[in-house]
Amino acid sequence: MKRLLFFLLLGSYALQGFAQDLKEVTLTNQIKEVTLFLSGAQVFETATGTLPAGETVLLVKGLSPFLDEKSIQVKGQGNFTIQAVNKRLDFLHEKEEGEKAEALEKEIAEIEKRQSNLRNRLQVLATKMSVLSANKSIGGSQAGTSMTALKATLDFFDAEHTKIANEELQINTQLAANDQEIEALRNQLYALQQSDDKAKAEIRIRVKATNAGPATFQINYLVSNAGWYPKYDVRVKSITEPLQLQYKAEVFQNTGADWKNVKLRFSNANPNQGGQAPIIDKWELNYARYTTVNKFAVPQTPGAISGLVLDEQGQTLPGTTVLVKGTTIGTSTDMEGRYSLTLPNTAKTLVFSFIGMRTEELPIQGRSNMNVTLMQENQVLSEVMVTGSYREREKKALAGTNLTLRGTSSMDAAPLMTSFVENQTTVEIQVAEPYSIKTNGERTLVDLKTYEIPATYLYIAIPKLDKDAFLLAEMADWSQYSLLEGESNLYFEDGFVGRSILNPAALQDTLQISMGRDRSIVMQREKVDQFSKKRTIGANITESRGYEITLKNNKSQAVTLQVKDQIPVSVNSSIEVTTGELSGGVVDPVTGIVTWEISLAPGGQQKLSLRYEVKYPKSERVILD
């Protein structure tokens, strides 16, 4: 048995040695296309080279260390057979980059040393010139000078001055040339340092060719630390004109490999459901001991949150992704590590992630500011390498701007050509213009499409929850636009009015887009003491409530306003709710929600009444306020 095991081990080592003895050929590769998902990306590369006859290991180098090995697909064209494909981290890349940087630094130091010597020589020449100038008087003060001596002296001064001036000119010319050489070397060193210092990945393709010849490979694979967030600009010039919707993609990538002049595709996944306009819940009235107090005060709609992301040493983390958990709404931090994000009403948790750091999921809990410190991830070296200098170079790369805008200028730019391809389960948006995106966390906005959409406009007001009216734009047949839930910048009447959430995750035929608050419509909800009383009749207590809602239109045009309020709904047979005056409002008997459809003329004002009465046993207590 031991003898058999010995031969098996010997055979195994022999095979490994044979594999290591195979000739390695490095292919020339280039990223051609990238399909971005909401989280992750699929990279398409081409690789070419010349294969020798026999078995060879082909190397595709300089790839992202976050490449998913299981996702690698290789298709070859040529007279050969692909035997195996695998991934390996190339830690020698980092060493090579360091050696190149060290060589450049040494070369710069040598030139600077020569510069110092040349400047010293200039000082010597200046001193020599000063000595000549100090001794330019000819002969003594009492005796004259012969013409021969005068001519010899003048010739001497002329020759020396000329010699010094020529040498100074040569030195200054050499100094200028050296300065240009140093600048070029420093630019080369800076460019080298801008590349990430993580280990690169390489794909190893084992092939067998009958004859030597050229080969071409189509390679694609999945990488993490990249993705996109849908963004929108919603513009309404007036409520009599169509709505303009600009669909954009905010791209981020920290894959460890730059994308240079690549074609981009954006995969459109199923959005998560969420609400934007205020939602008034059913009010179930019961005895106090069975009642959980419903706090009517809700966060401002739309809500927003901002903050700062740091590491353990207190250094900012540019390029950190910040995502509302369970949605497609997100952003990334700028060069100062700051973020700002509009929140849907359903937002509960933010997810913070950065390469080499532990992902944090933190509850929002009504906060509008949240500063986060991310801790180092204890990963083994073969998984990921991140150093402090990498983040410092990210900051340098982001210096001056943290957002790249494509296709925007003071003049109307030509529209970016895109096409929508509907697959079996997803929709892909293809952008014709190539893009270059560095692996430094810089955010790039890509214009996808601009739509002119017919819309109807409606104001909605819930004075019990908010004192402002919200303008809603309603779009019919919206499913044809392949939209995702995302942040939207709102522009109304040529002015920026705020941010909101565009939420197409709905089953309705009509999509509502909140255009934000319109403070030109003033409202007030007041409790009327005359109709708010409590009295005991026999074994029961009867409480009445009355509210008056005042609405005023300060706009120069008429508006249609939908107003909502509510009366309680009893879920106990011992509690009776009687509806009183509603000023023409329609009550839903199931939810108790009262709705008014109001038309207000310019400068018009209207008052609405809401009254109800509740009867319950005096041995119990109910909560009405």
How far, in Å, CA of 435 to CA of 418, rounded?
13
Q: Is 489 exposed, middle or buried (0-12, 13-18, 19+ CB in 10 A)?
A: middle
* Helix or strand run (H / E) with residue 193: helix 147-194
How far, in Å, CA of 181 to CA of 175, rounded?
10
Alpha-carbon distance values, 447 to 241, 419, 546 (Å): 23, 12, 52
Longest Cα separation, the chain: 145
> Domain ranges in the chain?
20-91+199-223, 95-136+147-194, 226-518, 521-617
The position carrying tokens 């009447």 is 493
**What are the average pLDDT values for consecutive 10-residue runs of the chain, which has 625 residues?**
44 45 87 89 92 90 85 88 83 57 80 84 81 64 62 75 83 85 74 55 89 91 88 87 90 87 77 48 74 50 76 85 86 83 84 88 85 77 38 39 39 47 59 84 82 89 90 82 83 82 71 82 92 90 94 89 94 93 93 94 93 93 86
What is the model's pLDDT at position 472?
A: 86
Q: Are 158 and 66 in contact (CB under 8 A)?
A: no
How far, in Å, CA of 149 to CA of 155, rounded?
10
Joined together, the tokens standing for residue 72 give 């690698």
What is the model's pLDDT at position 104?
A: 77
How far, in Å, CA of 153 to CA of 147, rounded?
10
What is the model's pLDDT at position 425?
A: 45
Q: Give per-residue pLDDT as tens, 547-586.
A: 999 999 998 888 889 999 999 999 999 999 999 999 999 9
Q: Give per-residue pLDDT as tens, 452-471.
A: 988 888 899 999 998 889 88
Amino acid (one-letter) located at 256: G
Task: Classify the C-alpha dihedral 475-478-484-485 as positive or negative.
Answer: positive
How far, in Å, CA of 53 to CA of 404, rounded?
48
How far, in Å, CA of 571 to CA of 565, rounded?
19
DSSP 67: B
What is the model's pLDDT at position 219?
A: 93
- CATH class label, 521-617: mainly beta
CA angle 351, 352, 358 (to 5 degrees): 110
Alpha-carbon distance values, 616 to 529, 543, 570, 580, 622 (Å): 21, 9, 10, 17, 8
What is the model's pLDDT at position 190?
A: 62
Q: Which candidate, 503, 534, 490, places its Cα nearest to that of 623? A: 534
E strands present in 52-159: 54-63, 73-77, 80-90
Q: Are 284 and 569 in contact (CB under 8 A)?
A: yes
Burial 298-327 (b: 16+ CB within 10 A, else e): eeebbbebebbbbbeeeebbbbbbbbbbeb
How far, in Å, CA of 168 to CA of 119, rounded?
10
Q: Are 339 and 309 in contact (CB under 8 A)?
A: yes
pTM as predicted: 0.54
* Helix or strand run (H / E) with residue 118: helix 92-134
Tell me how many helices (H) and strands (E) the chain has: 4, 38
**Number of residues written out for the chain:** 625
